[in-house]
Amino acid sequence: MKFRNIWGHFSTVSRHKFQVMKNCFRVGLYKQGLLHDLSKFSPQEFFPGVKYYQGNRSPNAAEREEKGYSGAWLHHKGRNKHHDEYWVDFSNDYSKGLVGLKMPLKYVIEMVIDRMAACRTYKGKNYTDASPWEYYMLTKPYTVIAPETGKLLEELLIMLKEQGEEKLFSYMRELLKKGDY
């Protein structure tokens, strides 16, 4: 393992985690801000992250390209409730197969904040408030998400894109006071 990759991956994960923490605190999600993405420091995620580190995109993508899957991603999404993939299960109606389950509000908000931080981390100075929406639109065709969760996610990402962070964070604080969507 190259020291550059170890330090680069550690720095990238830490920068991302700090951005999420700061913005979770802005909306009142203190515990989630502190605990966000701790699994990225587990051996199952950290060592593949170092091996596939490039600095300009997620190492999970490079691992997936080489192996056909990302073991680090499978580990990560199964332990972090702010990922919509965590909430995929078989429907009670087996004819429907896998379906997205409605995510609790606090995890939807953390997911939006996570997407913002990921885009900031990888796009750097090219980040705009539209970046999380643009990335979502690339992945939407193959996303399995509950309709009500998808609707809220889109509403929040469009609000960010069109009205900016301050309006988004204010709205998310109000949603959290209500407690559901």
Task: Quick: pLDDT tens for 29-87.
Answer: 999 999 999 999 999 999 999 999 998 899 999 999 999 999 999 999 999 999 999 99
| pLDDT at residue number 171 | 98
Question: What percent of the chain is modeled with pLDDT above 70?
Answer: 99
Q: Please give the model's pTM, rounded to 2 decimal places.
A: 0.95
| pLDDT at residue number 132 | 98
pLDDT in tens, 128-172: 999 999 999 999 999 999 999 999 999 999 999 999 999 999 999
Domain count, the chain: 1
Which residues form the domain of 162? 3-178
Q: Which residues contact 49 (CB under 8 A, 6 or more apart)?
A: 9, 13, 40, 59, 60, 72
For residue 88, the cross-strand partners are 100
Confidence of residue 7 (pLDDT cuts 50, 70, 90): very high
Residue 1 in this model has a pLDDT that exceeds 90? no
Q: Which residues contact 52 (CB under 8 A, 6 or more apart)?
A: 59, 60, 62, 63, 66
